């Protein structure tokens, strides 16, 4: 009988020793032994981490330091299809300098084609060769905008630049992360929130099933999860219902309308780093 994957959670600070301690505990508790690890964060756009739309780099730094004590670690940074040098703007160059970790630009890596069967149909996906060959640790944030974007979407965006359902399923099957550390220090579930939690596991679909209710979604409503199962996973050490009750679950307008505050925060960070002008609709005040 196959043992069900473990999903483990911890409450945490958003930075500092408390965060580092929580990350170290989760790595010690449930991370497998790995060699030559690629750490892949969500850095698809230059949003400020407090928006919850990208992984908090402080979580990544704590994870790199925890893993580096037992294995070689490379920070694998995907391209952004919207903003050039988004990882640098988010502080990953400085993180690499502080920790001494090597970086890999996934957009410059050699690629391989892999074919995956999805719903009795074959789907071919092209992924960076290192993601296919090496142990991968995914470090997603938790966001719902309005669909779930967690471990599997982070993997797909890093591997393919796409979050289309077939690409999410195929990329997740091909890359198949050895370990996931989901960053809930800040979340976005219709509005930014300081969530102050972490969730870890060795199976990306299981982590996504576990956190879907936290984001206000049933696993069976997340289309890309269906090939991997849609049962509910418990989070050891945390109650999904309690976390969900703390988070905002506001609906964003899929057809445009008034832009949410998170977009303004992203544009203000982009403008600060590049010197470009902020569009007038995003020029409101911020406490970032």
Given pLDDT bands bounded at 50, 70 and 90, which one contains residue 249? confident
Average model confidence (pLDDT) for the chain?
Answer: 89
Location of structure tokens 């949003």: 47
DSSP 145: S
SS3 state at 266: helix
Supply 164's token pair. 């289309």
Over the stretch 191-205, which tens digit does the pLDDT of each residue have?
999 999 999 999 999
Over the stretch 115-129, which tens digit does the pLDDT of each residue have?
999 888 899 999 999
Q: Is the pTM of this model over 0.85?
A: yes
Contact (Cβ atoms closer than 8 angstroms) between residue 170 and residue 116? yes
SS3 state at 8: strand
Contact (Cβ atoms closer than 8 angstroms) between residue 172 and residue 152? yes
SS3 state at 139: strand
**Is 143's pLDDT higher than 80?**
yes
Mean pLDDT of 164-170: 96
| Ranges of each domain in the chain | 7-279
Q: Apex CA 155: angle with CA 52 and CA 265, to 5°?
A: 25
pLDDT of residue 259: 46
Q: Specify the fold of 7-279.
A: Rossmann fold (3.40.50)
CA separation for the pair 108, 118 (Å, rounded): 28
């Amino acid at each position: 009988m196959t043992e069900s994957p473990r999903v483990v959670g911890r409450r945490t600070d958003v930075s500092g020793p408390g965060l580092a301690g929580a990350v170290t505990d989760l790595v010690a508790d449930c991370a497998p032994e790995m060699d030559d690890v690629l750490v892949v964060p969500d850095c698809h756009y230059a949003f400020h981490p407090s928006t919850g739309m990208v992984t908090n780099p402080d979580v990544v730094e704590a994870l790199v330091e925890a893993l580096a004590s037992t294995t070689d670690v490379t920070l694998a940074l995907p391209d952004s299809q919207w903003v050039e040098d988004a990882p640098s703007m988010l502080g990953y160059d400085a993180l690499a300098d502080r920790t001494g970790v090597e970086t890999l630009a996934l957009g410059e890596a050699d690629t391989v084609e892999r074919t995956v069967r999805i719903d009795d149909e074959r789907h071919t996906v092209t992924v960076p060769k290192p993601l296919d060959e090496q142990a991968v640790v995914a470090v997603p944030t938790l966001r719902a905008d309005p669909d779930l974007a967690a471990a599997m979407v982070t993997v797909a965006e890093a591997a393919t630049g796409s979050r289309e359902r077939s690409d999410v399923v195929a990329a997740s099957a091909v890359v198949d992360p050895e370990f996931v550390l989901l960053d809930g220090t800040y979340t976005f579930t219709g509005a930014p929130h300081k969530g102050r939690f972490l969730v870890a596991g060795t199976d990306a679909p299981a982590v996504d099933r576990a956190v879907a209710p936290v984001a206000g979604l049933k696993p069976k409503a997340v289309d890309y999860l269906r090939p991997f199962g849609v049962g509910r996973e418990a989070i050891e050490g945390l109650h999904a219902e309690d976390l969900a009750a703390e988070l905002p679950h506001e609906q964003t307008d899929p057809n445009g309308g008034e832009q949410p505050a998170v977009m303004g925060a992203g544009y203000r960070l982009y403008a600060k780093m590049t010197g470009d002008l902020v569009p007038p609709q995003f020029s409101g005040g911020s406490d970032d």
